Each structure stands twice: as C-alpha cells, then as structure tokens.
Amino acid sequence: MVIYMDNAATSYPKPEEVVAAMNYFFNEIGGNPGRSGHRLSLRSGEVVYDTRDALAQLFNIEDPLQIVFTLNATMAINMALSGLLKPGDHVITSTLEHNSTARPLRYLEGTGVELTRIECPAPNFQLDLDQLEQSICKNTRLISILHGSNVVGTVFPLEEVGKIARKHGIYLMVDAAQTAGAYPIDVQKAGIHLLAFTGHKGLFGPQGTGGLYVNPELKLDSLYRGGTGSRSEEDRQPEFMPDSLESGTPNAMGLAGLGAGVKYILREGLPKIREKEIELTNHLIKGLNSIDGVIIIGEEKAENRMPLVSFVMEGVTPSMVGEFLDERYDIMTRVGLHCSPWAHQSMGTFPEGTVRISLSYLNTPSQLDTLLQALYELSREEVRL
C-alpha cells in the first residue's frame, strides 16, 4: 500500500464523505447552478451556496456572497493582485512566497507596480515585522503574504500583520493555500481584506476548486467577464458579488466535494485536527533528528509550524531521497524547489532544494515509522543509491 506524504501538494486520501458528495452530485443532481429554473439547476445552486456558507463559517466571513469561487489558489491570487494593483502602487511581500504570488508580482512590477520583499531570516524563517513596517511608504497599497510556508512550514502572525496594515490604512492579502482547513483563520479578527485559498489541500476538496474572499470595502477589477445566470438581459457585467468576479459555469461537482470537506473539518473541529497534526509533526521531527546526516530546515517546534518538514541529507541529493522512498518503500514525498525559488535562495538550498514530508490529519504514526525506518536505511552507506 502506498504511503502518501505529499499533502502540501494536494491532500490524499480524502474523507469518504467528499467522494460520496461528488458521487451524489454526479448521479442525482448534475444541473448547472443558477442557470435554469428547473429543479436540478436549483439543487445545484443550493449545493454551491451551501459550500460558500460552510467556508464563510470556517473563516468567520460575515457574508458568504463575498467569496468568489476559482479553480485554485493561483487563480484567486492573480484575481486579487491584478484586480487591485495599478502602476505606481507599492506592494510588500515576503521572500517565502510561492510562485503563485511571486510570478504575478514580478509581472506587475513590469507594468509599474513597486515591489518590496521582506526577508525571513534563519533559523526560523519568520517574517521580520519591524522591517515590514519600516518598508511602508506613501504609495503602499497592499501587504501580500502567505500564511503558512509550503517550504519550511513557518506560520506568519496574521493578526500582528493585520494590526500594522490597519495602522497604516493599507490592505492585507493572505495566501492561505497551506493553512486553510489546518489552522484557524478569522478574517475579521486578523483584518484580512483578501483571502485566497485552494480547495484540494487542507480543505479536503477535489482539485479544480478554490476561492477568494473579498472584503466588502474593496472593489476589484475582474480579469474576465461573461455569463452569470443573473441579469441575462444586460450585456454589462453585474456589479454585485460574487457575480461581478465569477463568470462561466463553476465546477459544481467539485464544489459539492469541497463543501463536504469543509463540513468534515467543521465537525472534527480545528483544535482536534491541529492537535493530531502537531503530534505527528513532533514524531517526525524527533525521528529525523535521530538519523545521521539529516538536517531539518527551519523551526523545530511542531507547535510553531505547519505539519510539513523540509530536510536535506548529507551526501544524498533530494531527488535521490525521493526516488529511494518511492521505489523501495512506496512512500510519496516531494523533492526540489516546491515552486518557491525565492524561499530556497534565501534558505541557501537553491537550486537542489529539499525533501519535503507533508502530513495530513489522515496520516498515522505507523506510516511515519515506516518512513523513518526507510530514511535510517538510506543513511547507512551501503544502501545509498
């Protein structure tokens, strides 16, 4: 049996009810949400709304209609950055960002947007809040940061950053791709104006789901326009949310699965999920520290990080470690740069990257024991590739 430890790329397996909800949608509903007046279209619309509602509960969003569904976090981040920033605006970000933020920002820099990257220094790779505040200038419009790092597992202090943003009257955009469903996020408490999330990682939905929360104070320019099922008599895009930003047939079957994933999380409760993930991460860190030649990157306290650990192994490249685990032990991990070249440049692990073990609530201690045994064997000279 395969042991899956690449949950930061996408979570697998999913809770049974996610698969059941998608099956039910496919077999019993099938209609296009909000388009037609017949009952299958109406039921499909209810499924989509229900998912919006569950997400609003999870993130403490007052009005579920302020959530726009997208295909993934990347699309949500692009919608937010390109929909908000104009030439002459200044944006502050961090060196830990994923390419889904780094690349749109680099592109926007070419159109005249100014960009400042805040270093996240070793050993903990935490955001330097003093440097962040000192970087704010007259034309700063936005702080755009991730919540949890997909490379080193660092979790940024959103409420502290939110306070700084509020004090200076600027917007805060958060990429919650790694933390949604695994870490508490309260958009009101943290003062988040834009929250991008993906459905297929911690929220246990299928691939092809994600979204963007837009604070009602903000109006974004849409990247695309089209059919919404509302105001069909008009050839102009509706101005109300979510239709102003959400055109075309959504992934309703995927959203049925996402809704089931979010309800699973709400039922289990984030404290219980977090507690189990901390236990697993502690087990992993302790085990890795006992293997000769393994060097863990970043924060060693499981309480202060995501349930993912990056490491390098002396004398073996990350890709060799990944190949060994896959071929000999059926263990799936991710090796390399994890779509985050900035992070590896500042961590000193560029260009080979690291081996990343990323866990979910559904992993078990015995799977970790198998992984640790495999790494122990690899650390012995004679079995090296």
Q: Shortest gap between Cβ of 178 and ligand PLP (angstroms)?
A: 5
Minimal distance, residue 100 CB to ligand PLP, in Å:
4
- CA neighbor of 182 nearest in space, from 53, 75, 278: 278
Per-residue binder mask for ligand PLP (CB under 6 A), 179-208, x = binder = -------------------x----------
Closer to ligand PLP by CB, 7 or 41: give it: 7
Q: Minimum distance between the CB of residue 378 and ligand PLP, rounded to whole angstroms? A: 26
CB atoms within 10 A of CB 92: 25
Radius of gyration of the CA atoms of the chain, in A = 21
Stretch of 78-86, 172-180, 182-190, 341-349 contacting ligand PLP, by CB under 6 A:
172-180
Cβ proximity of 209 and 73 under 8 Å: no
Residues 153 and 341: their CA atoms lie apart, in Å, by: 15
Q: Which residues of 288-316 are buried (b: 16+ CB within 10 A; e: fewer)?
A: beebeebebbbbbebeebbbbbbbbbeeb
What tokens were used for 86? 């104009």
Provide long-range contacts, Cβ within 8 A and 24+ apart, for 219-225.
Answer: 220/79, 220/80, 220/83, 220/84, 220/245, 221/82, 221/83, 221/84, 222/79, 222/83, 222/247, 223/78, 223/79, 223/82, 223/83, 224/248
Q: Contact between 209 and ligand PLP (CB under 6 A)?
A: no
The count of other CB atoms within 10 Å of the CB of residue 384 is: 13
Q: Cis peptide before 365, with omega less than 30 degrees from 0? A: no
Indicate whether 308 belongs to the interface with ligand PLP (CB under 6 A). no
Q: What is the DSSP letter of 228?
A: -
6's enclosing H/E stretch is none
Task: Choose between 10 and 131: whose C-beta lies nearer to ligand PLP.
Answer: 10
**Pick 72 or 82: Cβ nearer ligand PLP:** 72
- Site residues for ligand PLP, 62-101, by CB under 6 A, read 72-74, 98, 100
Best CA proximity match to 146, nearest among 182, 111, 177, 188: 177
Contact map string, positions 101 to 140, toward ligand PLP, x by CB under 6 A? ----------------------------------------
Is 150 a binding residue for ligand PLP by CB under 6 A? The answer is yes
Q: Min. distance of Cβ 258 from ligand PLP in angstroms?
A: 12
Give 61 or 306: the residue with its C-beta nearer to ligand PLP: 306
Are 284 and 309 in contact by the 8 Å Cβ rule? The answer is: yes
Could you tell me the smallest distance in angstroms from the CB atom of residue 261 to ligand PLP?
A: 14
Q: Which is nearer to ligand PLP, 126 or 198 (CB)?
A: 198
Across-strand partners of 183?
180
Dist. CA 280–CA 174, nearest whole Å: 26
Nearer to ligand PLP, 182 or 374 (CB): 182
Query: Considering the complex, what minimum distance in angstroms separates the CB of residue 44 from ligand PLP?
Result: 23
CB of 186 to ligand PLP, least distance (A): 19
| Cα dihedral value 246, 156, 203, 2, nearest 10 | 130
Rank residues 21 and 177 by Cβ distance to ligand PLP and give the closer one.
177
Q: Which residue in 81, 177, 252, 273 binds ligand PLP (CB under 6 A)? A: 177
CB 292 to ligand PLP: min, Å = 30
Could you say which of 175, 243, 277, 299 contacts ligand PLP (CB under 6 A)?
175
Our finding on whether 7 is near ligand PLP (CB under 6 A) is no
Q: Which residues contact ligand PLP by CB under 6 A?
A: 8, 72-74, 98, 100, 146, 150, 175, 177-178, 198, 210
